[in-house]
Amino acid sequence: MATSRSLLMYLKCLKLSFLGCCMLIFSFLNTLVFVPSAGAQTFENLLAKHAPLIQRSSSKTVAPVLGEIVEFGGPVVQKFLSRWRSKDLYFLMESNQFAYTQDLGDDRIKLINVETGAAFATVTKASIKQIKPNSGVRAKISASLIPFLLASADPKERATSLDALARDFNESHLALLDAAITTETNAALKRRLERAYRFGLIGFGRDEDTVVAAIHELEGDLSLETRAVLNPLLADKLYVAATLPEGINLARRIIPGKTTKLTDGAAGRRSIIGGAPAELSVGAAYNMLVDAAISPALVSIEARNAALADAIKDGRIGVEKAAGLNNETARSAAYSRLVLNGSATKMVDKEAIQQAVDEAVFYAVYDNPSKKIVTAAQTTLASIEGQVNLYKAIDLLVDGLSLASICFLAAIGLAITFGVMGVINMAHGEFIMMGAYTGYVVQLFVPNYTLSLVVALPAAFAVTFAAGVVLERLVIRHLYKRPLETLLATFGISIALQQIAKNIFGTQARPLTSPDWLDGALAINDVLAISNIRIAIFVLGVVFLALLIFVMKRTRFGLDTRAVTQNPAMASSMGINPDRINMLTFGFGSGIAGIAGVAIGLFSKVTSELGSDYIVQSFMTVVVGGVGNIWGTLAGAALIGTLQKGIEWLNPSNTLAAQTYMIIFIILFIQFRPRGIVALKGRAAGD
């Protein structure tokens, strides 16, 4: 019986032990299977751990926090960093929890979990704190977002991330760029990525051949960024030694007091980066010797006099009375005796200084120890500089052609009237001004700038044509063959027209706005960019050249005009009315000036003095080109435009000097060719 009872108790214990083991196994399996993944909780735990620092971060303290957040990874991190950077992150003090918000109005805000995106509470604005990182922290956050944004599906985000990367590049970004290049589909963005990758290799590459290859791949890149990356590779420092050390990357040897000249291309490199050739004065060179403990320090006059004063005892320095040291010779002799006695430091004379400098070696060493890298940088910069100079010359030529187009438009009307009628019309500039104001008035009624420009061109021609006809009928026709009186009369009329314009439009500049498609520039590369408005004026000049050639060669009016120009008496006998031709010609030339005024007003201020800025230039163009000839005017405009821009390029700080030189040139030119580049027979030419 006792045995049965014992056996029963043993079985019960065994059953309990088995149940306990099953419960332990179940608990362990439950831990493995049913506990949520660590990543779903770690991010909020990570934020909670760094909550104080996230709330009060600075650019110096935020880096470790950002490192841990970025290491966590995933879309949750990208969204969190973006919200943090844009100041769209809040902190709930009660639960030590970060959240996004949705404004519900009535001072109520819905809180959204930063991890799940689910709303979890509704609170008042006073119970939460907005996180406002400063600009330095935002910059660090932007840099941390780069790995996420480079993989974004939005090209704009990828471009933005590339800009942020360029501002704060480090070695870890090389792998990111390499990966981004292989997946990038946007051609322009891919080129930017490749350039940034090359920049990174140059700055952080560890393999010499790889860096050299990256440098050579930049040879066709004319951007300022490329030159800014390559120039530091050629930075150097100045040293002095008794003999030239071995194993250094020598930039140049320096002869104090003389400009450095090298045979290894370093002097040429100096001109590439815009620095002057290295110069070192003898005095500065000796100071370097003193700093290097190669030569003794110089004793100044003040130090000599102080030593003499300290040596005075009982009114004497040695056996000599101190009162006798009243000149430089006596003081120098007394100091020399102190040196002989060992009481003072020997003064170094000029001969000793020069000798010490001549015996030492002064040299510059490249900061970069690799000769291959330095040579590659020199070669690439030389190639880039050659291309930059070429495109600068093209840019200068384009500027000259642009100015020539303006001169041609402003002068062609004057060339026609002057050539046919021999009238020195000083009011021609005011017709340009009237055309510009006509364009301004048209824009007041036609707000579409493209349409207003289409309307303004014929309107300006009509207005100034009518004004020219009126002027010719009332004044000019009575003053033929009296050029001095014509000049004085038209000069007075120009002053009157300026005053009328001031009375109507005021003294303030009026806007003549160009259409949007004329804004901006045609960028050929980082050196050469041609503004659209200058292209438009050039095209307008070409169109007018073709139109004028057609009118003068293919129309009855042009035939009559050329006949009157060459022989008015014969033209009159053939049934041509010279008086009528003079009137129409003067009106036609004035109308062209009005169209030129619209073109000039698009990039210049429209004021009553607008015409006076171009009248002298117009006369110079006509006289140099040849009076009364379209091709001569074109040649004169090209010569004056390119020459003036060339003079301004040589002396960019003084445009007035350029104009002065231009006038001197024209005076000399007229002395040798008084009838201009393309001479025309007629009254204006003296026939």
- pLDDT per position as a tens digit, 115-149: 888 888 888 888 888 888 888 888 888 777 777 77
Lay out the sheet containing 236-241: strands in order across: 236-241, 361-366, 250-254
Residue 685, CA distances (Å) to 115, 572, 628, 663, 676 in order: 89, 20, 8, 21, 10
CA–CA dist 439, 606 (Å, integer): 10
Average pLDDT over residues 488-513: 90
Residue 662, CA distances (Å) to 379, 441, 571, 572, 617 in order: 39, 35, 39, 41, 10
Give the number of C-alpha atoms closer than 13 A to the C-alpha of residue 110, restricted to the C-beta side.
Answer: 9
| Residue with the two structure tokens 């350029």 | 658
Residue 653: the pLDDT is 64
Do residues 641 and 403 lie in contact, with contact meaning Cβ atoms separated by under 8 Å?
A: yes
Residue 655: the pLDDT is 63
Mark 150-168 as b/e (b = at least 16 C-beta within 10 Å): beeeeeebbbbbbebbeee
Say which amino acid occupies 630.
I
Residue 357: the pLDDT is 85
- At 559, list the tokens: 């035939």
Give the number of C-alpha atoms closer than 13 A to the C-alpha of residue 651, restricted to the C-beta side.
Answer: 12
CA–CA dist 590, 592 (Å, integer): 5
Terminal-to-terminal C-alpha distance of the chain: 160
Most confident of the ranges 12-16, 32-36, 111-115, 667-671: 111-115
Residue 459: pLDDT band with limits 50, 70, 90: very high
Residue 375: the pLDDT is 92
Residue 502: the pLDDT is 92
With residue 236 as reference, give the H or E element that holds it. Answer: strand 236-241
Residue 13: pLDDT band with limits 50, 70, 90: very low
CA–CA dist 112, 102 (Å, integer): 8
Number of H helices, E strands in the chain: 27, 12
Is residue 76 helix, strand or coil? helix
| Higher local confidence (pLDDT), 112 or 654 | 112
- At 615, list the tokens: 């009248």
Residue 654: pLDDT band with limits 50, 70, 90: low
Do residues 192 and 177 lie in contact, with contact meaning Cβ atoms separated by under 8 Å?
A: no
CA–CA dist 618, 9 (Å, integer): 127
**Reported pTM:** 0.66
CA–CA dist 297, 479 (Å, integer): 86
Average pLDDT over residues 404-422: 79
Do residues 463 and 435 lie in contact, with contact meaning Cβ atoms separated by under 8 Å?
A: yes
315 burial via Cβ count (<10 Å: 0-12, 13-18, 19+):
exposed
CA–CA dist 626, 685 (Å, integer): 9
Mark 558-595 as b/e (b = at least 16 C-beta within 10 Å): bebbbbbbbbbeebeeeebebeebbbbbbbbbbbbbbb
Q: Is the pLDDT of residue 496 over 80?
A: yes
CA–CA dist 489, 476 (Å, integer): 9
- pLDDT per position as a tens digit, 362-374: 888 998 888 999 9
Domain ranges of the chain: 38-138, 150-233, 234-370, 388-685
- pLDDT per position as a tens digit, 509-537: 888 888 888 888 888 888 888 888 888 88
Residue 464: the pLDDT is 94
Q: Is the pLDDT of residue 270 over 50?
A: no
CA–CA dist 165, 151 (Å, integer): 13
What does the DSSP assignment read for 105-161? Answer: ETTEEEEEETTT--EEEEEEGGGEEEE---HHHHHHHHHHHHHHHTT-S-HHHHHHH
CA–CA dist 75, 676 (Å, integer): 75
Provide the CATH number for the domain formed by 388-685 in this structure.
1.10.3470
Alpha helices in 184-249 (DSSP H): 187-204, 208-216, 224-230
Say which amino acid occupies 338.
L
With residue 595 as reference, give the H or E element that holds it. Answer: helix 578-601
Least confident of 17-31, 70-84, 430-444, 472-486: 17-31
- At 500, list the tokens: 């009328």
Return the bridge partners of 356, or none: none
CA 657 to chain centre: 26
CA–CA dist 89, 310 (Å, integer): 73
Residue 1: pLDDT band with limits 50, 70, 90: very low
Average pLDDT over residues 293-300: 78
Do residues 89 and 137 lie in contact, with contact meaning Cβ atoms separated by under 8 Å?
A: no
Residue 18: the pLDDT is 44
- 230 closest CA partner among 209, 249, 240, 216: 216
Least confident of 393-407, 442-456, 667-681: 667-681
